[in-house]
Amino acid sequence: MVTSARVRMSIIGVIALSLFGVLFARLWYLQVASGSQYAAAAEQNSVRTVELPAPRGSILDATGHKLAWDEPSNVLTVDRKLKNPELTTVVKRLSILLGIPVAVIDKRLADVRVSQYAPAPVADDVPINALAEFSEHKEDYPGVKAETLATRRYALGDLGNSLAFHILGYIGEINGDELEAAPKSARYFPGDSIGKAGIEKTFESVLRGRPGEQKLEVDNTGRVLRVLSVRRPVPGDNVKLTLHSDIQRVAEDSLQQGMDQIRGVQDQSDKSHYTTFKADAGAVVVLDASTGSVVAMASNPTFNSNQFVNGITNSVWKFLNNPAGNYPLLNRAVSGQYAPGSTFKLVTATAGLQSGDITPDKVIHDTGTFQRPNDTRKFTNDHSESYGDVNLARALTVSSDVYFYGIGSDFYDASVAHQPTGSLLQSTARQFGFGKATGVTLPDESSGRVPDAAWKHSFGEAEIARAGGPAKCPLCDPDWLPGDDINLAVGQGDMLTTPLQLANAYAAFANGGTLFRPQIAAEVLDPSGRPLRQITSVADGHVPEPARDAMLQGFSGVTTDPKGTATASFGGFPAGLVSGKTGTAEVQGKQNTSVFVGFTPSGLVPGQNPRYVVLSLVEEGSYGASTSAPIVARVMQALNHMPLTNVVIHPPSAGN
Amino acid sequence: MATVVSSERKSRLQASPLVHLDPLLVIPPILISGLSLLMIYSSTHTRLAEAHQDPLYYVKRQAIAIVIGLVAMVIVAAIDYRRLRELALWGYGATLLTLVAVLGVGAQVKGAQARFDLGPFQMQPSEFAKFFIVLVLAGYCAIHRGELDGRRLAIAVGIAAVPMGLIILQPDLGTDLVVLFGVFAILAMAGARARHLVVLALLGLTVATIAIRLGVLEQYQIDRLTSFAAPNKDTANSAYNQNESKITIGNGGLLGKGLFQGMQTNASHVPEQHTDFIFTAVGEELGFVGSALLLALFALVVWRSWQAARVSSDLFGTLCCAGIVAMLVLQVFENVGMTMGIMPVTGIPLPWMSYGGSSVIVWFACVGLVANVSMRRFS
């Protein structure tokens, strides 16, 4: 080889060497230096994760009856990878087999809530004969599989509703806000179910369990090649409520009966218009006063949770949000705010006794009208009825407004400085739990309102500002006036309470002074039913009971005395079994709110402390004695194991 | 070196040339082709099984090609290469004829008219053209050793240009690129002047540009050539292949996912993986260690061939080996570089690795030729 040839051969060698060098360097860069980045890309390319939903825990009543549970349902699924024309044929055959329109099946096939890598369920609750037909002719249905999936079920009430609809709530597909709010560790994904209301919402983390997941390796066309890993789902725990479904059922039915009946009655107070009572909404609350636990809680109108399970239709959603439907989703027992009317006299009496303004024996001559000295404004009893000489017990029994107007007026005078947070009247109301959410584990609880000078000032100023100056709003007044205390004394004016707050205040009185945080869940059980966690009742405070006996006597008279406001409704009850207080709250522009709070036993028999508090409230439902007292009476029958009679309302007659 | 005749050499002259067979030259291609059977199986068996076909379909066909290739290697090595010079002219002529014929009656595969259907097998004349162009060109240059003036250089270029022209009409730019490097190496080693070589290089560039301008190349081929510069621009089309290819190799990491365990490979994410992109299967399943070993085997063949060129007893042998070295280096660099995203995508196989009978047979014949030159270095 000549020298020049050697040089040229060496050049070829050097070129070869450097080209191989480049290859080695690039190989090192791809596989070692940035290998993890490419490994991640490969994983994204080939690995698909399919969520395995966990069976949701059940919700049980106090005796262990299932109120909400996951039920296995026979489902037919179609492989999403099935292509036309096979797909069209299969869908057509399924449509004939199941009697479901092709369009419905197509829609479910396109449902984005189901993972693209999981077969799409196209029919739930497939009847047995259709399943048999399918399994005999499987070859006619390529890509179709019969599976068992869990479907949420709710026990039914008697009104076309699910029992305790407002307490249990319902589940639905998670929305954007909920996804954002959920902690990362909870691992929610679009399409997951989540509790939307009631216990389903507040106990979501307990009931849900932990979803499992399946990692699948897929090829470039999305076909599943193999299962890489499976993490089994952990079933959710069960929640046992304090609710008794038998009492709940009676409460719901009784409320409906009372509302139905008063709706047929003419409203005498409206002489110019021939109208009947609207009575389009109401609530019943039953508390165990000894523990603060909720025995029953009904809200009307109500709905059926089962309708939410597979997603509700647009028309149903419109109905639920239409004012004419009166918002069935609203739990009026905890979210509704109402003037308590005369039921508030519990607080006024306690405050008056505390301040020394009254004693149990102090007698007032009730002429039917109350007037402050040097004041022309008159405050009257209903129909200005005169009750003559009344002491505390009598005033409660006959519901003498004049007796309590005086207490309110005295509170006004005693607090000349008009402390922003009010007098002993307001603070006693707060002691009974008014003006603050009770803390029951149900969503959307309202706090109610105890009106005081500070509140009225800011409210009045805001009103004036909205109207555009004091001249434009002559009735707007930011100052706390005698009438505010006088009205508050009889639960009128700006006082607002939720039915649960009011029932809870009576429970505190009934049990001897302990204000509980109302309790709805009793314990958490594991999926096999073993107790995991007991939920104990929590005392939130104490209420003073300066003259318990006199007041008990007064409340007892309400249901037993010939002049008692609710005696007509409790004729069938043995003496000493039931006590209570009626309330009839005036509402601006609306018919009166009918309220009754009772407790049983009455507490008059020694050794028998009141145990249950039952409250009924009917919006635009006439007198407390007319509608709510009979509703409460029927629930009391159930609580006392008496034979149930239908609700008989006592419509007000002229001059009553 | 060639002028010194020692007594030792005399004794070597009498011995069978087989004694001087270079094992480091012939064993690596056999190892590589053995590995190719595993990797072809890995990249095709899931797809074949899903289509309810024999998962060993491609493996069996490749095994047949390897056997034929080994036979071809033995035959090419056995006949003294100086006799091959004359025989090659017949092969060159036949190649020209088949290259013309394939344009007329060849089977259209992936936009190129490059193969004959011979019963169950296909033949790719352009692969055979590589071998014969090297032999005939080396033969011509060796006759006029050291005297490649303008006229002779033109003839030499013509010898290569005619078949190359036919190949580019298929169009198969990749093969021409490989051949071009072989031709360059042969001309350089044959003593062509540097200035002539530069002119030739410019001429080659011009031809390539004209080919692209005149639309000889299909749009997809131009896309493939240019997409490597911006691979993330459009992963759905031309760069998709290269992007998946890089991911697959990168996924292998240092030690690889294990034989038949490649996620990307099993899932058929890389198109043409068993043919032009076979290196990605090696990359993913055998990792950096396995891939580097494979490259080392290629480097070993290159080194031994380079050495054969240097020690050849005559210029013809040197030129043959130099041409093959240049073609092998470029083909490996282009193919592996393409799978790693540093070279444009041109459809050329990885020698002894890619599925495809013609390539395997021709590359075994090439290594046979180098072995031939190498073991007859003393005669």
Q: Assess contact for B156 and B333: CB atoms under 8 A.
A: no
Q: Which of A266-270, A444-448, B119-123, B162-166 has the highest mean pLDDT?
A: A444-448
Pairing of strands A59-60, A238-241: parallel
Cβ pairs A/B, distance under 8 A: 137
Contact state of B249 with A28 under an 8 Å Cβ cutoff: no
- A309 pLDDT more than 60: yes
Contact state of A45 with B249 under an 8 Å Cβ cutoff: no
**Edge-to-edge order in the sheet of strand B107-109:** B107-109, B112-118, B121-123
- A656 pLDDT more than 70: no
Q: Assess contact for A238 and A58: CB atoms under 8 A.
A: yes
> Which pair of tokens denotes residue A215?
């990692």
Q: Which residues of chain A neighbour B287 with C-beta distances below 8 Å?
A: 31
Lowest mean pLDDT among A220-229, A639-648, B257-266, B328-337: A220-229
Report pLDDT digits (tens) over B127-154: 999 999 999 999 999 988 767 888 888 8
- Is some CB atom of chain A closer than 8 A to the CB atom of B333? yes
- A335 pLDDT more than 50: yes
CA atoms within 13 A on the CB side of B300: 17
Q: Which residues of chain B neighbour A224 with C-beta distances below 8 Å?
A: none
Quick one: pLDDT at residue B226?
57
Q: Which residues of chain B neighbour A223 with C-beta distances below 8 Å?
A: 50
- Secondary structure in 3-state letters for A500-522: HHHHHHHHHHHCCCEEEECECEE
Q: Distance (Å, rounded) from C-alpha B130 to C-alpha A203? A: 76
> Chain B closest CA to A62's CA: distance in Å?
54
Contact state of A35 with B329 under an 8 Å Cβ cutoff: no
Report pLDDT digits (tens) over B21-80: 999 999 999 999 999 999 999 999 888 887 778 999 999 999 999 999 999 999 999 999
Alpha-carbon torsion angle A411, A413, A417, A419, nearest 10: 10
> Which pair of tokens denotes residue B111?
């936009």
Q: Assess contact for A59 and A238: CB atoms under 8 A.
A: yes
> Which pair of tokens denotes residue A270?
């409206």
Q: How many helices (DSSP H) and strands (DSSP E) are in chain A? A: 21, 23
Q: Which residue of A has its CA nearest to B304?
A: A13
Q: Distance (Å, rounded) from C-alpha A185 to C-alpha B17? A: 74
When pLDDT is cut at 50, 70 and 90, the band that residue A654 belongs to is very low
Give the mean model confidence (pLDDT) for residues A589-606.
91
- A284 pLDDT more than 90: yes
With 0-12 / 13-18 / 19 or more C-beta atoms within 10 angstroms meaning exposed / middle / buried, residue A107 is exposed
Contact state of B340 with A223 under an 8 Å Cβ cutoff: no
With 0-12 / 13-18 / 19 or more C-beta atoms within 10 angstroms meaning exposed / middle / buried, residue A427 is middle
- Is some CB atom of chain A closer than 8 A to the CB atom of B197? no
Q: Which residues of chain A neighbour B282 with C-beta distances below 8 Å?
A: none
> Which pair of tokens denotes residue A472?
């434009």
- E strand intervals along B98-201: 107-109, 112-118, 121-123
Q: Which residue of A has its CA nearest to B248?
A: A42
Rounded to two decimals, the ipTM of the complex is: 0.92
Estimate the share of chain A in helix, then strand, then coil, as percent rounded to the nearest 5. 40, 20, 40
Q: Assess contact for A490 and A345: CB atoms under 8 A.
A: yes
Q: Distance (Å, rounded) from C-alpha B131 to C-alpha B124? A: 12
Give how far Cα B367 sits from Cα of A501, B74, B86, B161, Å.
Answer: 96, 10, 19, 24
Q: How many helices (DSSP H) and strands (DSSP E) are in chain B? A: 14, 3
- Is some CB atom of chain A closer than 8 A to the CB atom of B263? yes
CA–centroid distance for A248 within its chain? 14
Dump the DSSP string for A242-271.
S--HHHHHHHHHHHHHHHHHHHTSB-TT--
Give the mean model confidence (pLDDT) for residues B344-365.
92
Q: Distance (Å, rounded) from C-alpha A515 to C-alpha A292? A: 8
DSSP β-bridge partners for residue A378: A371
DSSP β-bridge partners for residue A212: A52
Q: Which residue of A has its CA nearest to B291?
A: A27
When pLDDT is cut at 50, 70 and 90, the band that residue B6 belongs to is low
- E strand intervals along B70-229: 107-109, 112-118, 121-123
Q: Which residues of chain A neighbour B178 with C-beta distances below 8 Å?
A: none
When pLDDT is cut at 50, 70 and 90, the band that residue A611 belongs to is very high
3-state secondary structure (DSSP) of residue A523: strand
Quick one: pLDDT at residue B179?
93
Q: Assess contact for A68 and A200: CB atoms under 8 A.
A: yes
> Which pair of tokens denotes residue A191?
């399409």
Q: Which residues of chain A neighbour B2 with C-beta distances below 8 Å?
A: 1
Quick one: pLDDT at residue A357?
94
> Which pair of tokens denotes residue B115?
């193969």
Give the mean model confidence (pLDDT) for residues A630-638.
97
- Is some CB atom of chain A closer than 8 A to the CB atom of B230? no
- Is some CB atom of chain A closer than 8 A to the CB atom of B318? yes
Q: How many residues does chain A have?
A: 656
Q: In this complex, which of B189, B291, B298 lies closest to A9 when CB atoms are compared?
A: B189
Rounded to the nearest integer, the mean pLDDT of chain A is 89
Quick one: pLDDT at residue A401?
95
Q: Assess contact for A298 and A251: CB atoms under 8 A.
A: yes
Q: Assess contact for B358 and B169: CB atoms under 8 A.
A: no
Q: In this complex, which of A32, A38, A46 lies closest to B254 when CB atoms are compared?
A: A32
Give the mean model confidence (pLDDT) for residues A107-117.
70
Q: In this complex, which of A9, A24, A219 lies closest to B267 when CB atoms are compared?
A: A219
Q: Which residues of chain B neighbour A117 with C-beta distances below 8 Å?
A: none
Q: In this complex, which of B1, B253, B336 lies closest to A23 when CB atoms are compared?
A: B336
Q: Which residues of chain B neighbour A43 with C-beta distances below 8 Å?
A: 263
Q: Quick count: other Cβ atoms within 10 Å of Cβ A414?
A: 14
- Is some CB atom of chain A closer than 8 A to the CB atom of B228? no
- Secondary structure in 3-state letters for A36-71: HHHHHHHHHHHEEEEEECCCCCCEECCCCCEEEEEE
What residues have CB less than 8 Å from B244, skipping those under 6 apart? A45, B264, B269, B270, B271
Give how far Cα A85 sits from Cα of A82, A140, B36, B50, Å.
Answer: 9, 13, 40, 20
> Which pair of tokens denotes residue A370?
């109350």
Q: Which residues of chain B neighbour A34 with C-beta distances below 8 Å?
A: 250
Closest CA to A168 of A272, A68, A302, A306: A68
Contact state of A22 with B337 under an 8 Å Cβ cutoff: yes
Most A CBs within 10 Å, among B47, B177, B245, B263, to test the A interface: B263
> B112 phi and psi, to 5 degrees?
-120, 145
Contact state of A39 with B269 under an 8 Å Cβ cutoff: no
Quick one: pLDDT at residue A204?
95
Report pLDDT digits (tens) over B7-25: 555 555 566 888 889 999 9
When pLDDT is cut at 50, 70 and 90, the band that residue B2 belongs to is very low
Q: Assess contact for A150 and A170: CB atoms under 8 A.
A: no
Quick one: pLDDT at residue A5?
84
Contact state of A16 with B302 under an 8 Å Cβ cutoff: yes
Q: What is the largest CA-CA distance in chain A?
A: 142
Q: Quick count: other Cβ atoms within 10 Å of Cβ A561?
A: 17
Q: Distance (Å, rounded) from C-alpha A433 to C-alpha A436? A: 6
3-state secondary structure (DSSP) of residue A285: strand
Q: Which residues of chain A neighbour B261 with C-beta distances below 8 Å?
A: none
Most B CBs within 10 Å, among A11, A15, A29, A38, to test the B interface: A38
Contact state of A9 with B291 under an 8 Å Cβ cutoff: no
Q: In this complex, which of B46, B250, B295 lies closest to A30 when CB atoms are compared?
A: B250
Contact state of A27 with B191 under an 8 Å Cβ cutoff: no
Q: Distance (Å, rounded) from C-alpha A18 to C-alpha A15? A: 5
Contact state of B263 with A42 under an 8 Å Cβ cutoff: yes
Lowest mean pLDDT among A497-506, B90-99, B267-276: B267-276
- B229 pLDDT more than 60: no
Task: State what percent of residues in chain A have pLDDT above 70.
Answer: 96
Q: Which residues of chain A neighbour B298 with C-beta distances below 8 Å?
A: 20
Most B CBs within 10 Å, among A7, A9, A31, A45, to test the B interface: A31
Q: Which residues of chain B neighbour A217 with C-beta distances below 8 Å?
A: 263, 266-267
Contact state of B244 with A223 under an 8 Å Cβ cutoff: no
The amino acid sitting at B367 is: V
Q: Which residue of A has its CA nearest to B190?
A: A5
Q: Distance (Å, rounded) from C-alpha B344 to C-alpha B220? A: 12
> Which residues numbered 44-103 in B keep a CB inside 8 Å of some CB on A?
46, 50
Give the mean model confidence (pLDDT) for residues A236-256.
97
- A584 pLDDT more than 70: yes
The amino acid sitting at A554 is: G
Contact state of B295 with A27 under an 8 Å Cβ cutoff: yes
Quick one: pLDDT at residue B7?
53
Give helix A345-355 / helix A499-510 axis angle, nearest 10°: 50
Q: Assess contact for A144 and A78: CB atoms under 8 A.
A: yes
Q: In this complex, which of A13, A24, A220 lies closest to B268 when CB atoms are compared?
A: A220
> Which pair of tokens denotes residue A353?
């006794």
Give how far Cα A244 sits from Cα of A247, A531, B2, Å.
Answer: 5, 19, 111
> Chain B closest CA to A67's CA: distance in Å?
48
Report pLDDT digits (tens) over A448-506: 999 999 999 999 899 888 888 888 887 788 889 999 999 999 999 999 999 999 999 99
- Is some CB atom of chain A closer than 8 A to the CB atom of B302? yes
Contact state of A217 with B267 under an 8 Å Cβ cutoff: yes
Pairing of strands A171-173, A120-123: unpaired
- B379 pLDDT more than 90: no
3-state secondary structure (DSSP) of residue A537: coil
Lowest mean pLDDT among A105-119, A239-253, A362-376, A629-643: A105-119
Task: State what percent of residues in chain A have pLDDT above 90.
Answer: 59
Residues on chain A bordering chain B, Cβ-to-Cβ distance under 8 angstroms: 1, 4-6, 8-9, 11-13, 15-16, 19-20, 22-24, 26-28, 30-32, 34-39, 41-43, 45-47, 217-220, 223, 225
> Which residues numbered 206-225 in B keep a CB inside 8 Å of some CB on A?
none
Please indicate whether residue A224 or residue B289 has the higher confidence score (pLDDT): B289
